[in-house]
A and B are shown apart, each in its own frame.
Chain A
Amino acid sequence: MKRREFLKTSAFGAALAAAMPSRAMACPAGLRGTGDLAVIVERASGSVLIADTTARETLGRVEGLGDLSHASATFSRDERFAYIFGRDGGLTKLDILEQVIAKRVIQAGNSIGGAISDDGRLVAVSNYKPGGVNVFDARNLEPVAEIPAVYGDGKRSKTVGLVDAPGRRFIFTLYDAGEIWIADFSKGAKPSIQRFADIGELPYDALITSDGRHYIAGLFGEDGLVHMDLWADDPKPRRILGGYGRGEKKLPVFKMPHLEGWALAAGRFLLPAVGRHELLAVDARTFEEAGRVKVHSQPIFAVARPDGRHVWVNFAHPDNDTIQVVDVPSLSIIRTFKPGRATLHMEFTPRGHEVWLSVRDADRVDVYDTRTFEKLGELPARKPSGIFMTARAHTIGL
């Protein structure tokens, strides 16, 4: 009797194990939501980790995503799939639940991030080589449109700062040409394109605010930024914070700042200044300078905790072992600490109770309490860079 029961159990166990391979280990119940999951890019090994941010543990690793230096991710509206944009032109649709690659295409030679349309049906990729934006069907990654970034006498520009905007639009910036383009897919697969030329020298990145109203591009070639109010009847780029460097010599820039992760807090944007040890505060209504914060070194990301009270800042090589926390109402630094060499990225949980930091050289992701600044845990990861939580699925511009 006992023996027969044992046989039955073990046979059932074996059948179960056969039916549900490794992922069953992570979720024995077989059902789970994805709202608290994160995708962590392992830049040097072409792999990503899928992590449970509630349990603070890794659920699995998916390999074979190509060159993931500078990789980023956006999410499908149901938060089941991540679209991962690799450096080598690879666009990968990752099934987060099954922990497998659902589809992967090499769509260009050299890429720099992407975006998903407001309706979740189009995925756009920003390319350096050949310069332009390619747009795909989010379901199967079949090509929908190609937008070559042609300027001057037929040259192609690298594209940067690609974001989604309401109304099935994508906005991006041409690095070599100094232009901003709006591609409108509201009428179908063939976009209508609006071009805005002469915005300034070497725009290196851009952001869109989460209300979809303001598009801001940073310039490398001159002091200042470019602002477009997309709610205007006739949106036009205009220069803001011209001459913020006051003609002083820029410090050598060992890593370009990122504008995504921009911080709008208490009526002000905090943005990293290029080639300066400063954050620039910009009044969110007038777009005039509203102060500065002296920081440890050249800022890379200035990310607002979701409630907006604090902004966390990381820095360029060789000072990238440090994090500073800025109190927004007083524009003062309230915390400086060193998680470890090459602290590359910060991602807040959706309501901001924790922040996840990738500490590349320590092969580790650290989790901190954002109020006590206490370290709550760590996860091993191979040379981690970007951390992307699925809640990004529901924010304009992410």
Chain B
Amino acid sequence: MRKVWIKWLLLSSVAAAVLAGVAHAASMLGPKRQAELVYLVRQDCGSCHGMTLKGGLGGPLLPEALAGADSESIASIILHGVPGKPMPPWTGQLTREEAVWIAGKLKQGFPR
């Protein structure tokens, strides 16, 4: 009984450490990388979604349009794309932390 409890405690602290690591990594995006990501979203995502992100061939990426989706699922679309649609997977060019950061910023209203 006690063993199980210790195991659970160990596991959860590992999980907490992993979570903390992720959060840490996200906040570790330096200002230079953040500026690069803003530029990428405005200029390159902008070629389909519009530079003001109100949509084009791809849908709008404004806070109202994304209100129903959480950052994790948006990040997952960024990383894996939408099969059968033009949205490509950005894995390889963006890390998970970067995708989550972009998703969060999109939901808040993306910086200029």
Contacts and interface: CB of A to CB of B under 8 A. Distances in A.
Given A110-B54, A129-B55, A220 B43 contact: no
B86 A360 contact: no
Contacts of A252: 81, 88-89
Nearest to A317: B44
A79 interface: no
Contacts of A202: 85-86
A221 B84 contact: yes
A256 B49 CA distance: 12
A64 B44 CA distance: 23
Interface of B is mostly: loop
A386 to B, nearest CB: 12
Given A69-B51, A128-B55, A220 B46 contact: no
A87 B93 contact: no
Contacts of A366: none
Contacts of B84: 221
B46 to A, nearest CB: 5
B62 to A, nearest CB: 12
Contact of B86 (A109, A128, A253): A253
B30 to A, nearest CB: 20
Q: How large is the interface on A (under 10, 10 to 19, 20 to 34, 35 or more residues)?
A: 20 to 34
A256 B48 contact: yes
Given A128-B57, A158-B57, A254 B44 contact: yes
A43 B57 contact: no
Contacts of A69: 46-47, 50-52, 56
Nearest to A110: B55
Interface in B15-46: 42-44, 46
Interface residues of B, number: 20
A67 B54 CA distance: 10
A112 interface: yes
A112 B49 CA distance: 12
B52 A88 contact: yes
Contacts of A342: 43
Interface string A68-102: 01100000000000000001100000000000000
A235 interface: no
Interface in A173-188: 175
A88 B46 CA distance: 13
Given A221-B84, A360-B43, A256 B51 contact: no
17 contacts: A44-B42, A44-B43, A69-B47, A69-B50, A69-B52, A70-B50, A87-B50, A87-B52, A88-B52, A110-B56, A160-B57, A204-B57, A252-B89, A254-B44, A256-B86, A317-B44, A342-B43
The 9 closest A-B pairs by CB, nearest first: A252-B88, A69-B51, A317-B44, A255-B47, A69-B46, A252-B89, A67-B52, A87-B50, A253-B88
Given A175-B57, A202-B85, 7 more contacts: A69-B46, A69-B51, A70-B47, A87-B52, A87-B56, A220-B86, A383-B43
